[in-house]
């Protein structure tokens, strides 16, 4: 579905599940604080919900994040995709979108004043898709009828609903104010935007990973996880390489996670891009936490110290799963233990 970035897409069918998301992120210049700003617009219902997360090495749960704020059912009013002000204190202004955004968030304890400038054009699914025979990012987006016919190897969509997703690496400048303490921001980070019908349950399991080495290299991956032969298989379904100012498609990628429970302690990514250049990135967790992200999504963040080609960088792995699926697995373990 081709589209612009100034206004919402409003399907004429009026599907109440229709969702447009807007996500901005940032790292402080010293790498100590990671920020997420996420907005979900239920445009056919006229409401939005916001999630603002800031965490650091001292964060292990929602209670000890640097900042956490989630608000639901905010009236959208006359908001546009590239120009909105919400009751949560969040203001986003395209100047113009999608190449330049000004993002401000003001609350009693926390303020963000950020300027986002594109390092690349938005990369849609035609650019990022790597594996076409497994559920990828768009597996979030479910049709009204879960039994509807779907392409071989896929599930959860009828295939004819409008949908889309873009990723974009930005250079972010500005600052955060946290309890009166100023933290500078000056470096690369990602934003994304998706649009489709999306339910609030039955999500698949997967990970969003991003790795930044200044202006030299950014690699973004979406990894789906599927049970296979009693183990979990991780498949990189979507990715791109930003090498300097050149966006490159990925021709092959493997991701290896080393986890303790649900937390990722370290990982290794091997990527081949369309020019034939090979990239190996190793990441070690510096900080992380797990929590209920709302809409029945359980999230696990890990902030990473990364190495690539002798250089050091920063990254993040964001694992997500359906809460009910985790509940069922835990219940099965309890039943098995009781039967011994």
Q: How far is CA 135 from CA 32, 55, 139, 277, in A?
A: 34, 30, 5, 27
Q: What is the pLDDT of residue 131?
A: 78
For residues 281 and 313, what is the distance between their CA atoms, to the nearest angstrom? 10
Using an 8 Å Cβ cutoff, are 54 and 34 in contact?
yes
Which band of pLDDT confidence, cut at 50, 70 and 90, is reported for residue 153? Answer: very low
| pTM, entire model | 0.92
Q: What is the pLDDT of residue 134?
A: 65
Closest C-alpha among 200, 177, 183 to residue 293: 200
Q: What is the pLDDT of residue 77?
A: 86
CA 270 to chain centre: 20
Q: What ranges do the domains of the chain cover? A: 18-331
Q: If you average pLDDT over every residue of the chain, what do you get?
A: 89
Which band of pLDDT confidence, cut at 50, 70 and 90, is reported for residue 340? Answer: confident
Examine the pLDDT at 147 and tell me if it is beyond 80. Answer: no
Among 148-152, 237-241, 334-338, the range scoring the smallest mean pLDDT is: 148-152
């Amino acid at each position: 579905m081709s589209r612009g970035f100034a206004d919402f897409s409003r399907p004429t069918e009026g599907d109440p599940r229709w969702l447009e998301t807007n996500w901005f992120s940032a790292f402080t210049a010293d790498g100590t604080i990671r920020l997420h700003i996420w907005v979900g617009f239920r445009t056919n219902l006229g409401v939005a919900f916001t999630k603002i997360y800031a965490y650091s090495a001292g964060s292990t749960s929602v209670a000890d994040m640097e900042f956490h704020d989630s608000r639901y059912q905010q009236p959208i009013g006359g908001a546009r995709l590239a120009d909105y002000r919400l009751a949560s204190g969040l203001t986003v202004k395209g100047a113009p979108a999608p190449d330049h955004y000004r993002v401000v968030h003001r609350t009693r304890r926390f303020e963000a004043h950020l300027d986002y400038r594109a390092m690349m054009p938005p990369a849609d699914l035609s650019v990022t898709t790597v594996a076409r025979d497994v559920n990828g990012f768009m597996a979030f987006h479910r049709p009204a009828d879960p039994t509807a016919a779907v392409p071989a190897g896929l599930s959860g969509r009828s295939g004819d609903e409008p949908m889309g997703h873009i990723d974009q690496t930005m250079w972010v400048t500005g600052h955060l104010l946290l309890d009166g303490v100023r933290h500078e921001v000056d470096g690369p980070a990602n934003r994304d935007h998706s649009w489709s019908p999306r339910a609030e349950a039955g999500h698949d399991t997967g990970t969003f990973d991003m790795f930044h080495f200044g202006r030299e290299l950014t690699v973004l991956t979406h990894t789906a996880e599927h049970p296979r032969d009693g183990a979990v298989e991780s498949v990189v379904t979507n990715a791109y390489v930003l090498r300097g100012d050149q966006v490159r498609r990925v021709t092959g990628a493997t991701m290896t996670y080393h986890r303790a429970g649900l937390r990722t302690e370290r990982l290794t990514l091997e990527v081949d891009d369309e020019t034939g250049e090979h990239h190996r990135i190793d990441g070690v967790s510096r900080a992380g936490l797990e929590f209920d992200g709302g809409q029945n999504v359980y999230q696990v963040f890990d902030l990473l110290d990364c190495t690539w080609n002798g250089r050091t960088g920063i990254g993040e792995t964001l694992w997500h799963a359906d809460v009910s699926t985790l509940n069922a697995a835990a219940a099965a373990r309890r039943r098995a233990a009781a039967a011994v």
